[in-house]
Amino acid sequence: MRQTGNIGDLRRWVSEARSSGQSIGLVTTMGYLHDGHLRLIESARAENSYVVCSIYVNPTQFGPSEDLDHYPRDLDRDKRLAEEHGVDLLFVPSTETMYPGGPEAQQIWIDPGHLAEHLCGAARPGHFRGVATVVAKLFHMVQPDRAYFGQKDAQQAIIIERLVADLVFPLEIRVIPTVREEDGLAISSRNVYLSHEQRSQATALIHALHRARQLIEAGEQHPPVIEREMNSLIRDEAPDARVDYVTVADHRRLQPTTDKLPDDALIALAVYFGSTRLIDNMVVRRADGRLEFQ
Ligand code: AMP
């Protein structure tokens, strides 16, 4: 495995691979790799002959009171895991490389518009602008054939798909199902912040999604009822949790709805345990009168 923080090296090695006929897969991460990231890398490995993984904790997607300075990091372990899982090139740029002169010097940003208004975008103003901008830079630097994102960050995945479609990036986005712990908690770098008690209460997120599924299978169609039941389950199972949102939305437009369950619905939630924010979601599709849950 090669490693660099330099755009010149990155471009040279990727273009060598491309000119020898290899296809390029990209996995973008903030490091502290876990089984969710590794599943993305494995998917990239299976569909491409050359795999690039980036590790960069992007300051412009963190709000002023968020955990940028404390975000967990372990580059030696990340290198070992990336190599073991078949990454060909690990790109670990500095902030000077990603934002010459610092983020304050950047003039042009990618604005995800209405897609960033609700769900996580409401509590994290500017977050998806930072994500879309840094991902666009990484796409230009690597020029992959395919890039891999996790369904755990459902709003991010939709925004990146629209970024690629609307700005005509010549690559394909693959969205990979959420990887979970045995008890159903979505794996996240932030799970390490949870106390023992918070960790045991955190299964309330997946239980709330299971509850939504039961209700929908039993014929429930009203988003406010589904949301109310999910909130009430979280109150019962996780007394230490503070719900940020529990929302039924149109999956593609990321717009909350109160009328009727959309045919392609995203049921998403975000919950705080202390200052740790956990998210999870489920997609519900209706096609030919049949329901599909993802
Ligand atoms: P992060 O390092 O948190 O920015 O995540 C990098 C990529 O890994 C993003 O596309 C995430 O959606 C994806 N990811 C993070 N956790 C999981 C998970 N539990 N299952 C699947 N993908 C994940």
Query: Does ligand 1 have an atom closer than 6 angstroms to the CB of 189?
Result: yes
Backbone phi and psi for residue 58, each to the nearest 5 degrees, phi listed first: -80, 110
Q: Whose CA is nearest to atom 15 of ligand 1?
A: 36
Query: Does ligand 1 have an atom closer than 6 angstroms to the CB of 36?
Result: yes
Which pLDDT belongs to residue 65?
Answer: 87
Which pLDDT belongs to residue 105?
Answer: 97
178 CA: nearest ligand 1 atom: 20
Ligand 1 pocket test, pick from 33, 87, 152, 181 with the greatest ligand atom count within 8 Å of Cβ, gives 152
Which pLDDT belongs to residue 163?
Answer: 98
| CA of residue 34 to ligand 1 center, whole Å | 9
| CA of residue 288 to ligand 1 center, whole Å | 31
| CA of residue 166 to ligand 1 center, whole Å | 23
The answer to whether 61 and 103 are in contact (CB under 8 A) is no
| CA of residue 213 to ligand 1 center, whole Å | 23
**294 residues of the chain, pLDDT tens digit each:** 999 999 999 999 999 999 999 999 999 999 999 999 999 999 999 999 999 999 999 999 999 988 899 899 999 999 999 999 999 999 999 999 999 999 999 999 999 999 999 999 999 999 999 999 999 999 999 999 999 999 999 999 999 999 999 999 999 999 999 999 999 999 999 999 999 999 999 999 999 999 999 999 999 999 999 999 999 999 999 999 999 999 999 999 999 999 999 999 999 999 999 999 999 999 999 998 899 999
d(CA 121, CA 100): 26
Q: Is 251 a catalytic residue?
A: no
